Structure 1
C-alpha cells in the first residue's frame, strides 16, 4: 500500500482492472472501505479510466447488496428482540425447525460445476496459480486469509497470470519481492526471475509497481535488465527498458 493506505480494491480501480475488481468484490471485500484520505473506490473512478462504466456498475451493485444485507440483518435483530419481549421467561417458545443442512468441511469446497472436492491448501493454491485459475485461487485465499506463499507467486509469474498475482497480492498479502524459493531452480526462484524472458510484460510492470519491490536487486551479479539481455526472450528489449 502507498502512503495514504490505498486498499487492494482502490488499487484495482485506479488501474482499471475490471476483472480484479469483480473478483475482490465476489470474495467479500468491502466496497466502501476508504483510504486515510477518506476516498472510497467509487470516488476514484474518472471518465477516462479503463472500464470506468463497468467498474462503477460493479461497485454500485456491491454497495447495494451490502446495504440490503445490513438492513435484513437489522430487521431480524429487531424481530428477535420483539419476540423475546413478548414472551415471559416461563412462556413456552417454539423450537426452531430441525435443519437438514450438513456440516461443511472447512478444508474442502466444490469448485465450479465439476463436483470435485479439493483441499484448500498450498498445493491447490500453487497448482491453481500456475494454471491461472482465478476462481480457485480466490477460494483458497478466502479460507487462508493473508496467506503469503512465494511459490504460488512464482508459479503465477512464470505463467504470465497477472490477475492471479493481483489476487495473491490483494487477498493473500503476498510479498512481490521474496527471497528465492529454495525448492525451485535458482534462476527462476523469485516472481521477477520467473517472469523475465517469458513474454510476461504485464507481470513485470505489476511487480515493479509494488512499493515494496526492489528493482536494484541482483542475481548472480546481474541486474534484472542485464538478465533480460542474457535470456534474449521475445520481448527482451522492452523488458530491458522497463
Structure 2
C-alpha cells in the first residue's frame, strides 16, 4: 500500500511504538490521528502537527468515538493501527485483571474491526495492523493474561485476513520481542521484583532490545509490501519453527529457561 495521502489512526500513540509508527507514517506523507488514554498524546501529536484523541479504546463507546473523531478530522480511515496494549497482572491474575487486559489487548481490536471492516469491504480496500508480540507466537513467562491476549490478537488478525482478504482488506500483525518502552521496563524499573522481574528478564535477555523507531521502520516496509507477519526480531521465526516441530521439547526448554531466570 502506498502511504502518501492516506488517513491513519494509531492507538497507544502517546509514546513508544505507537508514537514511532505515527511519526513514520507522517514522514511518508500520511495524515495521522494519534490516540491514547495518556494525555501526553497531545504533546506527541503536536510535534507532528497532527490531530489527537484522548480516550479509552477498551470500551465500545471509546472505539466508536475514536473512529467518529478520525472521520471528522481526517476523512475516511484507510489504515487502523490497533497498537494500544497493557502488560497486565503477573501470574494468573484475578477476574478484574482478565476483564481489563481482554478489553485492551483484544476486544479493542475486535470493536475497531466491527466498525471499519464493513466500510472497507464496500470500498474494496483498507488496512488493519495489530500489535501483538512474540508472546503471541511463543509465550510470556510470568504473565498469563499478556500471553493469552497476544495469542488471541494474532488469531483474530489471521481470521480477518482469511475471511476478508479477497475483498480488499489487508492485515498485518506486529510481533516483536523486547522494545525499549514502558511495557517492557515499567514506570519504575528499579522496583520490579519477583514474577514481574522474571518475565521482564525473559524478554530482555532473549534478544536485542530494539528502539521504537527501528520497529516502526520495519512496520512501514511490511505495510508497503503487504506482509502479514512483521518480525522486527527475525530470530522469533526460528523459535516459532522450533516450537511447532516438537511442542513437548519446546515446553520443557521453556521450563528450564524459567527456572534459570528465577534462580539467577
Larger Rg: 1
Judge same fold: TM > 0.5, yes or no.
Answer: no
The structure that is strand-richer by fraction is 2
Query: Given the two structures, how large is their TM-score scaled by the length of structure 1?
Result: 0.29
Query: Given the two structures, how large is their TM-score scaled by the length of structure 2?
Result: 0.27
If asked which structure has higher relative contact order (CA below 8 Å, sep 6+), I would say 2
The structure that is helix-richer by fraction is 2
